[in-house]
Structure 1
C-alpha cells in the first residue's frame, strides 16, 4: 500500500509586530491536536467573508445605479420601494450572523 504524503506548511511570526503577536496568542489558545483544523477553518471562513463582501459590494453598486443625487445632497430613488430581492438578501445576511 502506498503511503500518502501530507503537505506541510510552516510560517514564522515576528512577535514585534502587534498583529503577529495577537495571532500567536490566539493560536496558543487552541488545544494541541486541533491547530491544523483551526487554521483550515479560519482560512475557509476568511475566503467566505471575502466572497460575501464582494456580493454585498455588487448589490450596493447595482442599487446605487438606480439612484440619482441632486445638488442639495438629497437622494431621489427612481423606484419608490425597496425591491423584494434586496429585502430577501438583507434578511439572509441577518440570518448568517
Structure 2
C-alpha cells in the first residue's frame, strides 16, 4: 500500500464559499500549500470537536437546573410605581417612619 494519497480539487469561482477557499489557498506560497491545507482541515476538526464538547458540558450542567419565572418589566414597573407613590404619600403626610 503506497505511503501517499492524492486528491484533486477543482474550485468553482462562481460559488462564494469555494472562491474564498481558493483565494486563501492561492495566497499560500507554492510548496507550503499541503501543510496549509492540513493545518486548516485539522484546525477546523479540532474546533468542531471542542465546540461539541463544550455544548455537551453545558447541556449536562443545565439538565438539572430549573429557572424561576421572572417578572415582566410591566410588573416590575408597577411595583416601583407603588413604592414611589407610597414614599410620596408619606412625605405629604409627614410620616416619620421613612
Matched residues, number: 70
Gaps of 5+ in 2: 72-98
- Residue matched to 2:13: 15
- 1:70 deviation in Å? 2.6
- Greater strand proportion: 1
Ranges of 4+ aligned residues in structure 1 off by more than 3 Å? none
Asked which structure has the greater CA Rg, the reply is: 2
- Residue matched to 2:35: 37
Write the distance in 2 (CA, Å) between the matches of 1:29 and 1:66: 49
- 1:71 deviation in Å? 3.1
Write the distance in 2 (CA, Å) between the matches of 1:56 and 1:7: 33
Write the distance in 2 (CA, Å) between the matches of 1:46 and 1:57: 16
Q: TM-score under structure 2 normalisation?
A: 0.65
Write the distance in 1 (CA, Å) between the matches of 2:26 and 2:10: 14
Q: Is 1:28 aligned to residue 31 of structure 2?
A: no
Per-residue CA deviation, residues 58-91 of structure 1 (Å, 9 max, x unaligned), is: 1100111131023337xxxxxxxxxxxxxxxxxx
- RMSD of aligned residue pairs (Cα, Å): 1.5
